[in-house]
Structure 1
Amino acid sequence: MNTPAALTLEAPAEHPFAPFVRILGKGKRGARNLTREEAREAMGMLLEDKVEDTQLGAFLMLLRHKEESAEEMAGFTEAVRERLTAPAIQVDIDWPTYAGKKRHLPWYLLAAKCLAQNGVRIFMHGGGAHTAGRLYSEQLLDALAIPLCRNWQSVNEALDTGNLAFMPLQDWAPHLQRMIDLRNTLGLRSPIHSLARILNPLGARCGLQSIFHPGYQSVHREASSLLGDNSIVIKGDGGEVEINPDTLSHLYGTTAGVGWDEEWPALSAQRHVKPASLQPGHLLALWRGEVEDSYPQLALLSTMALALRGLGTPREQAFEQAQRFWDNRDTSI
């Protein structure tokens, strides 16, 4: 009588990325933060397409649920910077713009434009219109004559010509843009929205960051400190790098990796009434001096002062300098 051959069962090999998902998702008692090195390795695999789509979604949402740590942000940043192919371009201010505005117009664009007219080299970058009902920087670049650059050479040329350049994230970190674009698939913003703000791809003298959610500002400051960067983190209006003049502003700064704090008082005795709708033409009218409007003028002046503070100018002098820049701006577009 012939004996049937014994069945041999082999378990499939575990995917190399699975341990990173497990670290984050192993229940209340088993889960933990990634170490800086683990975060660096995990992000490297994401950037090199070494993960499945299901793993990508799970990883991003587990991070979103637990809230990322400073060590994780630093590790992710290192992985991205290692893979960038940007040339050496001298920049004063790195200005991320990823949130979009829904309550007020993006007055920070006029602040950046005015600073650029006065010799401050500013690199802006953003992730496109990913959330309905918001007004994004990319939609206003042409009207405000801010160069839209699609490669590093054009960034360099724009900075040399007019000290201001905007480059979409898609053109210098397409994998990160893809992750941001999952926002409407997953139903939540992922940590990539925060990561993009800290990257400072050209190694600017100071990186400005706006983090809206309470508690995250100090995490970003700590991550910048771990990286040895110069940065200022604020809770900007609508999540953009724009001081809200109606409220106290806390600056979470780092200089050469050493943290510092500064509080700027509200500039208005009472809150301004927000506009009924956002009319982009009002940006041009204010720039040209055709209208006077208290809120935007206070917002853009204090935002200019913020950038100057990031370059080492004390607060009082920064406001004085910002006012001079604004009063003497070239109002042509």
Structure 2
Amino acid sequence: MEGSVQKAAQQMSLSAPAMSRLLNQIREAFDDPILVRSGRRMIPSPKAENLRLRLRALANEAESLLTPEINTQSQPETGWQQPALLATPPLSLRAPLIGGQPTPQQLANQLAELSQNHDPVLRFSRFLGILGRGAGNSRPLTIEETEEAFSLILSGQVDPMQASAFLSLIHYRGTAAQELAGMIRAARNHYQLNTATTLQADLDWPAYLSPNSPRAPWFLQAANLLAQAGYKVAIHGSNGSGSNGGKIEQAACALDIPVTHNLSQANHSLTGHNITYLPLTGFAPALASMMALYPLFAARSPVGDVVHLLNPLQARASLLGVSRPAYRELHRDAARLMQEYVQPAHRQSNLPVQLNVLSGNRDVAEFYPFRVTTLLSLTGSDSADIIIKALQEPESLPRIGMDSFEYWQAIWQGTAIDPRLETVITATAALGLMTINPDLDFEHCHNKTREYWQQRNKA
């Protein structure tokens, strides 16, 4: 509960060294670290999380044994059994706080009794009860629990305040890999993305950009290089709303990349053009609506992590970009859990066999290769970290007389020359080629994509 050995010692009226000795004895007894450091806090290990509810039950039982029993007699029937004409408003749920809140054991029993036979709003409250009990009492949801909860949200069966509380509680505590995997499973089932298709993309390339980012989408030119080389590249994403909300669509049209409105159109586009851009609103409108809530909270939502791993066009490889280094492990761990939990009959058709995760300063894989970079890789269920050496950074040339979009177009058309940006484009394409062909190293792939770049306008 305290996240600190010293604070826990103060709660138990012990010295810090005495508490440290107790912790060491517990670790030895259970053969587990029990508490591990995360930043400035100590957080429970997975085994400690599993022990938590059993220990609380033991503590409640010990407390009840020491509490004198009070004999209570049932109240006699009075004949006044007519229910009120108006239902009690939801705020009456706060009433127990006035007369004394239920014990943890009573609350646990109440939550356990809420099964799938109950009203969806009541069923969903069980998950909020698990997430929102406070420090030392809450725990992450399991894959199955998260999948059920997020399915209720997507089907519109819960109160909007419940959905907001669910996303806020998970984000505030920090999304666990099994929670992210559960939400992805729910979304894929809700939008029928698990149905195997006759055509599979070679590369899934999620692109979820901040509408406030002023940077041009250089990754689209990298993806187009691979499409011109014969690979089928499926891009899906969004650019938020506002004045820059259509940036990806505008750039795609400038490169003759088809912008499609649904999964059927996207598959047709892959057949004829080897590349497509499918906005999130075209295949998952509810998720797009949740993503659009950012201005109301001014904070990330777990939905922003879910969309990266949807793989709507069943690509056999996926290249992700995440804006924070810590999120790389989260996405890879969630993808591994997805591989472990998926039905064997659909293992090859619905999930990427190869996943590479790049950390940058935007939520799309766009590689600036001028410093040493670690690429997190997942092949099936096997993880690896790939170290990519830094490339020499060419001089950045000033943009004169052109706005950002015009300069972006001029680089592709060859009417403007910028060696630094050309390196960004070819190195990004090299990561995509590495993801499709995991047996190839970065240097080999970069040599190939530089050839693609020189040949891009010769067709």
Deviation at 1:80, TM superposition (A): 1.5
CA contact (8 A) 1:248 1:264 kept: yes
- 2:67 matched residue in structure 1: none
Is the counterpart of residue 105 in structure 1 residue 228 in structure 2? no
- In the superposition, the TM-score normalised over structure 2's length comes to 0.66
Q: Which of 202, 206, 210 is matched with 1:92 structurally? A: 202
Alignment of 1:20-35 (within 5 A): 20-35=127-142
Q: Which shifted more, 180-189 or 9-18?
A: 9-18
Pick closer, same or farther for the CA change 1:104–1:148 going to 2, 3 Å: same
CA distance in 1 between counterparts of 2:257 and 2:186 reads: 30
- 2:176 matched residue in structure 1: 69
- The CA RMSD over aligned residues, in Å, is 2.6
CA distance in 1 between counterparts of 2:419 and 2:384 reads: 30
- 1:162 matched residue in structure 2: 273
CA distance in 2 between counterparts of 1:296 and 1:270 reads: 9
CA distance in 1 between counterparts of 2:405 and 2:200 reads: 31
CA distance in 1 between counterparts of 2:376 and 2:398 reads: 27
CA distance in 1 between counterparts of 2:331 and 2:247 reads: 23
Tell me the matched-pair count: 330
Deviation at 1:305, TM superposition (A): 0.7
Percent pairwise identity: 30
Alignment of 1:1-333 (within 5 A): 5=80, 15-86=122-193, 88=197, 89-100=199-210, 102=213, 104-130=215-241, 136-228=247-339, 229=352, 230-269=354-393, 279-311=404-436, 312=438, 313-330=440-457
Deviation at 1:330, TM superposition (A): 2.4
CA distance in 1 between counterparts of 2:189 and 2:264 reads: 20
Tell me which amino acid in the other structure corresponds to 1:30: N
Deviation at 1:193, TM superposition (A): 1.0
CA contact (8 A) 2:239 2:246 kept: no
Deviation at 1:84, TM superposition (A): 2.7
CA distance in 2 between counterparts of 1:274 and 1:188 reads: 34
- In the superposition, the TM-score normalised over structure 1's length comes to 0.90
Deviation at 1:85, TM superposition (A): 3.4
Pick closer, same or farther for the CA change 1:113–1:204 going to 2, 3 Å: same
Cα offsets for 1:204-243 (capped at 9, x unmatched): 1111111111211011111111222421111134232101
Deviation at 1:329, TM superposition (A): 1.1
Q: Which shifted more, 115-124 or 41-50?
A: 41-50
CA contact (8 A) 1:103 1:274 kept: no
Pick closer, same or farther for the CA change 1:42–1:5 going to 2, 3 Å: closer
CA distance in 1 between counterparts of 2:457 and 2:359 reads: 30
CA distance in 1 between counterparts of 2:398 and 2:323 reads: 18
Larger Rg over CA atoms? 2
CA contact (8 A) 1:107 1:283 kept: yes
Deviation at 1:8, TM superposition (A): 6.2
Any idea what SS the aligned residue of 1:208 has? strand
Segments of 5+ residues of structure 2 without an aligned counterpart are 1-77, 91-118, 340-351
Segments of 5+ residues of structure 1 without an aligned counterpart are none
Tell me which amino acid in the other structure corresponds to 1:203: Q
